[in-house]
Structure 1
Amino acid sequence: MRLSSLSYKRRAFNFGRGVVGCFSTVGLFALAACNTLPDSGPTERAVLETANNKQLNPLGFHILPVTPQLASVLSAEIPPLISSIDTAAVAPSTNDRIGAGDVLAITVFELGSGLFAPSSGASGAASANGLSAGPAANVTNQNLPPTQVEADGTIFVPYVGRLRAAGLTPQALANNISNSLAGKSQNPQVMVRISSDIANTVIVSGEVHRPGRVVLSTAQEHLSDVIAIAGGAVYSPEDSHIELVRGDKLGATDLGTLQSFPQEDIHAHPGDRIHVIYQPRSYTVFGAAGIQATETPFKSPHVSLAEALARVGGPNDNRADPNAAFLFRFEDPVAAKALGLDTPPTPKGIPVVYQLDMMNPSSYFLAQNIPMKTKDVLVIANARTNKFYKIDQLISTLVGPMITATYLAR
């Protein structure tokens, strides 16, 4: 019985020594592996240290904490608006003016034997044109050959000569022709209409179903109306980028904004050029987010920083450092100047990093006011304890089978 007790103690001692040796070996291995374990992204400390290291930060970007002042600057940052083209100095277009290149249909009505009546007589002309004679006198009408407005804005009318047509309405031109025929014809009446309208048109090109020339009417179509007349955009409104060229000015927005904000959906003007470009907008997420690194589409005209974080599941409870959500962006020079950044510009803009502390409740209000931009990069920093969590898992994976095997070998 005594020998059995000694043997049991010896085996227990050997078992403990084996376990201690096992833990020592694994511990040394774990310490050596601390700096070699894979990570999904940097820690807050790594990002901050990189920003202060000139060798690791050749772009010279700064890290700015999200404050009410910063959120105010970013929320007021508006890309070049299409509505900025529609200034008060520009007279509204009525889309009923004659212009160079237009083809006009001119009809002249006269009493009796008029200047434009056929040689067969007034009555023959009237019946040929489907008109009956008036009760007191015969009325004739004659359609002049299609008349194109010349490049200088004038037209030629028989017995009248050259008249200015460009810039006039058809009714105004008809009155001018009637006044010019007075004394040469009996009570001339003139009708003018635009049979081929070139001046009151808009060119729509790009990703629409029926690109080409769209004729504007006196209904004064909006930009979204013109795009609809052209068959509509091929892709979704949020991914359809609209460029408007008016004279020497350029404005841009997406179709979703035109449809959601009436103040941006301005009236189309004759001569406008509208180009629809397929430009899907997205932002990219790395680090300890709730989902794996991914490129996330906007799917709406506007996305705030708060919405962007929510769409990727926010910080991961097991791995993330909620104090350090970083927004990497090439900022617009105007906003960069307002923020006091002295970073050298790049072709894409001013590189800057915004840090959001999600442990501060006020940050959630500020994040709602910060709009995301296409190609922004969100990085949710890994917690510094993340490696210890991984080491613990590694130790459990390695030691567990050893302990079990040693116990079974007793």
Structure 2
Amino acid sequence: MKLMAKKGAKGLVLVVCVAALVGCSLPRPGPNKKEIFAGSVLKEGDAFIVSVNSRVTRATAVTPAFGFGSNFRNAGVVGSDTIAPGDILALTVFENVKDDPLLGNTGQRVSLLDQVQVDGAGFIFVPYAGRIKASGQSPEGLRRLITQKLDSQTPDPQVTVQRVAGDGSTVSVSGAVSGQGVFPIERPTRTLTAMLARAGGVAIEPAVALVRVTRGSHTDKIWLEDLYANPALDIALRAGDRIVVERDTRAYVAMGATGTQNRVPFESQTLSAIEAIAQVGGLNSTTADPTGVFVFRNEPAEIANSVLGRSDLTGDQRMVYVLDLTQPTGMFEARDFLVRDGDTVYVTEAPFVQWQRTIAAVTGTVGAATSLSDSATSSSGS
């Protein structure tokens, strides 16, 4: 009789546990496919759910395009000998006299004017020649000008001019480079790539490196790989340019039945859905549903209209793109579909996983309840 009562108690516990679990939701990493589709606009939700195909892939294939505007591209290379404000000059004057030179002491035919800096207005001062415009001149042009100024005061003066790039002909290089600093624009460093090399090169992976150049109030940037691949993009530098090398800040969020759940930075200029999944360790082989790979995105109205074949949508639209990796072309679609900055890549769990979780919860609950019942029966029997 006691045995039958015990079995009846266990059966009652099992019924109660199953009923309780049916009436509530077990823990899980996110919504299932049915719940996602329930949020569709077709079911009075607020998101458009779209299966990815080649047409959708083409309509959504938008990648950030960077490059230099015409004000950068049309600036010619500064002549390596062009004098600029801030440059340092060394002037040497040879006078064809023995006793009474114009610039030197008696018997001194050679006079050296070292460390003559071009002022902010572009002028220098030379004794007996006066204030002379130096900026924009070549050393040879300035030499002739000084010679003309001195020629009427000392017989047949011989002048040499040497230029050293000074404060006025410099650019700053900072960010992810091996050697940050302020560097002069000299003959070997008149272009952007040459100046980056002068700074020790880029200190991050080229695939995620962006080079930003600010000239005056205008700023443009370019992918480092594009800069290296196309010599025509290698702009000429100007005094005062500010060069910053920075890492690409784009990222997406991976969630659900993937190898890891995290905010993941891009590792290249373009990132496909299959690469995004691989980047987080792929699908979880024990829980993932390969028919339920979703990409959540706020899509600009122009693209949303193109994807949906409409023209009436305005403002950003909530879009959910669906990838079924089990379809004959599923892997190709995932390979071609581009993930963008701010996307959420979500992989649903396979249906049997929730069933297994329910069975495990029921079994564990029944076991605990049976143990409690046995303890109560033992206590009453004693």
| Fold conserved between structures, TM > 0.5 | yes
Partner of 1:72: 58
Cα distance change on mapping 1:365 and 1:283 into 2, 3 Å: same
Query: Would the aligned equivalents of 2:94 and 2:110 in 1 still touch at CA under 8 Å?
Result: yes
Question: What's the TM-score, normalizing by structure 1?
Answer: 0.70
Partner of 1:388: 355
Aligned residue among 10, 23, 35 for 1:32: 23
Query: Given residue 118 of structure 1, which amino acid in structure 2 is its aligned partner?
Result: G
Query: Would the aligned equivalents of 1:111 and 1:188 in 2 still touch at CA under 8 Å?
Result: yes
Q: Quick one: distance in 2 between partners of 1:334 and 1:148? A: 57
Instruction: Give yes or no for the alignment of 1:143 onto 2:134.
Output: no
Partner of 1:365: 332
Instruction: Give yes or no for the alignment of 1:226 onto 2:215.
Output: no
Q: Give the 3-state SS of the residue equivalent to 1:192 in structure 2.
A: strand
Partner of 2:289: 321
Partner of 2:170: 201
Tell me the CA shift for residue 269 of structure 1.
0.5
Query: Would the aligned equivalents of 1:283 and 1:295 in 2 still touch at CA under 8 Å?
Result: yes
Partner of 2:85: 100
Cα distance change on mapping 1:196 and 1:401 into 2, 3 Å: closer
Q: How does 1:146-157 map to 2 (within 5 A)?
A: 146-157=115-126
Which string of whole-angstrom CA distances, capped at 9 and with x for unpartnered residues, describes residues 5-54 of structure 1?
A: xx9xxx8x999977765654444233223xx2111011233233335399
Tell me the CA shift for residue 244 of structure 1.
1.6
Query: Given residue 181 of structure 2, which amino acid in structure 1 is its aligned partner?
Result: G
Partner of 1:252: 221
Q: How does 1:91-130 map to 2 (within 5 A)?
A: 91-113=76-98, 116-121=102-107, 125=108
Q: Quick one: distance in 1 between partners of 2:271 and 2:189? A: 32
Q: Quick one: distance in 1 between partners of 2:291 and 2:281? A: 16
Q: How does 1:279-318 map to 2 (within 5 A)?
A: 282-289=251-258, 291-299=259-267, 303-318=271-286
Which string of whole-angstrom CA distances, capped at 9 and with x for unpartnered residues, describes residues 171-200 of structure 1?
A: 332233334444554443332222352332
Q: How does 1:269-288 map to 2 (within 5 A)?
A: 269-270=237-238, 271-277=240-246, 282-288=251-257
Q: Quick one: distance in 2 between partners of 1:183 and 1:254? A: 57
Cα distance change on mapping 1:72 and 1:183 into 2, 3 Å: farther
Query: Given residue 96 of structure 2, which amino acid in structure 1 is its aligned partner?
Result: L
Cα distance change on mapping 1:77 and 1:27 into 2, 3 Å: same
Which string of whole-angstrom CA distances, capped at 9 and with x for unpartnered residues, describes residues 95-153 of structure 1?
A: 442112223222223434586452412xxx2xxxxxxxxxxxxxx43223543323332
Tell me the CA shift for residue 323 of structure 1.
2.8
Cα distance change on mapping 1:363 and 1:180 into 2, 3 Å: farther
Q: Quick one: distance in 1 between partners of 2:262 and 2:169? A: 47
Tell me the CA shift for residue 381 of structure 1.
2.4
Partner of 1:135: none
Q: Quick one: distance in 2 between partners of 1:261 and 1:30? A: 60
Query: Would the aligned equivalents of 1:286 and 1:292 in 2 still touch at CA under 8 Å?
Result: yes
Tell me the CA shift for residue 267 of structure 1.
4.0
Q: Quick one: distance in 2 between partners of 1:96 and 1:162? A: 21
Partner of 2:346: 379
Query: Given residue 108 of structure 1, which amino acid in structure 2 is its aligned partner?
Result: V
Question: What's the TM-score, normalizing by structure 2?
Answer: 0.75
Cα distance change on mapping 1:368 and 1:220 into 2, 3 Å: farther
Which string of whole-angstrom CA distances, capped at 9 and with x for unpartnered residues, describes residues 60-89 of structure 1?
A: x644443334433544522433x4567543
Aligned residue among 266, 274, 282 for 2:234: 266
User: Structure 1: 5+ residue runs without aligned partners?
Assistant: 1-6, 126-139
Query: Would the aligned equivalents of 1:74 and 1:371 in 2 still touch at CA under 8 Å?
Result: yes
User: Structure 2: 5+ residue runs without aligned partners?
Assistant: 374-382
Query: Would the aligned equivalents of 1:174 and 1:192 in 2 still touch at CA under 8 Å?
Result: yes
Q: Quick one: distance in 1 between partners of 2:89 and 2:355? A: 83
Q: Quick one: distance in 1 between partners of 2:103 and 2:236? A: 42
Two-structure CA RMSD over aligned residues (Å) = 4.3
Which string of whole-angstrom CA distances, capped at 9 and with x for unpartnered residues, describes residues 260-310 of structure 1?
A: 645597245022102345666543211121x24223344556543221111
Instruction: Give yes or no for the alignment of 1:191 onto 2:177.
Output: no
Instruction: Give yes or no for the alignment of 1:355 onto 2:355.
Output: no
Query: Would the aligned equivalents of 1:98 and 1:199 in 2 still touch at CA under 8 Å?
Result: no
Q: Quick one: distance in 2 between partners of 1:238 and 1:332? A: 27
Query: Given residue 197 of structure 1, which amino acid in structure 2 is its aligned partner?
Result: G
Query: Given residue 161 of structure 2, which amino acid in structure 1 is its aligned partner?
Result: V
